Amino acid sequence: MILITGATGQLGCHVAAQLKKDGKGFLSPTLQELDITNKQNVNNYFKAHKPSCVIHCAAYTNVDKAEDEKEKCFDINEGGSKNLALACKEINGEMIYISTDYVFSGQGTRPYETNDPTGPLSTYGKSKLAGEEAVKKYLNNYYILRTSWVFGQNGNNFVKTILRLASERDSLNIVSDQIGSPTYTVDLAKLLSQMALSKKYGIYHATNEGFCSWADFAQEIINISKINCKINSISTEEYPTKAIRPKNSRLSKESLEENGFSRLPQWQAALRTCLMSFLC
């Protein structure tokens, strides 16, 4: 039985749908049923249900707000992950920890390999790296999967924001010097279903194929949706935010191929599929 944390979230809901499609049994507890920040609650849940694998999608993800809520951010991303890892260890279960490009400093232009030195710039990035370290400390049977620029039909994300703003304005100023890869939740969920219980443990990077800037991403959203809105490219310095974003979020996907997993489709194709679902 596979346990999904954050099963009602942007990624978790698609993981649940994919596991159901693949005929795999899963548990998708509500926050009231499983509070990952409550160690005793986690232990009790695991004793009762004994999941063989945890796909850990639950996280504190508000990057800017995290700078003002550091304790809460770490409590969820580090503390919650530690509680789950310890509970998995007790029943010899395995865990897939969803991590992020924010664990890197964003220097240079080459794609980050899974074993490259980390160096998060933000509270969010530091908390997710702390979660990684907790998983590695307490478990042998783990997968750490770093992804970036996640979008989909559920939750708040860049695609939905651009669609909303473009319908209200004639032009938008979008950062063009942060480079990475969008990741479609439906495609990522398929990979997670394949990875769970595969016993191919280790650290992975998974995003849709291809690189772009946020401005490129926004322009493609506009083009596919046929909205009359001009995208103006600006620098990171022209759009200050509370949390520092990595300028280089390129992630190498070599580890996927090395372990027999397929790469995700091109990001433009994934975006088109997502946007078409909005129109249906």
DSSP letter string, the chain: -EEEETTTSTTHHHHHHHHHHTT--EE---TTT--TT-HHHHHHHHHHH--SEEEE------TTGGGT-HHHHHIIIIIIHHHHHHHHHHTT-EEEEEEEGGGS---SSSPBPTTSPP---SHHHHHHHHHHHHHHHH-SSEEEEEE-SEE-SSSS-HHHHHHHHHHH-SEEEEE-S-EE--EEHHHHHHHHHHHTTS---EEEE--EES-EEHHHHHHHHHHHHT---EEEEE-GGGS--SSPPPSB--B--HHHHHTTPPPEEEHHHHHHHHHHHHH-
pLDDT of residue 280: 47
pLDDT of residue 154: 87
Whole-structure pTM value: 0.95
What is the tens place of the pLDDT at every residue in 206-223?
Answer: 999 999 999 999 999 999
Catalytic residue among 124, 138, 142, 204: 124
Residue 6: band (very low, low, confident or very high) from pLDDT cuts 50, 70, 90:
very high
Question: Is 124 assigned a catalytic role?
Answer: yes
Write down the architecture of domain 2-157+183-209+249-265 according to CATH: 3-Layer(aba) Sandwich (3.40)
24, pLDDT greater than 90: yes
Q: Where are the domains of the chain?
A: 2-157+183-209+249-265
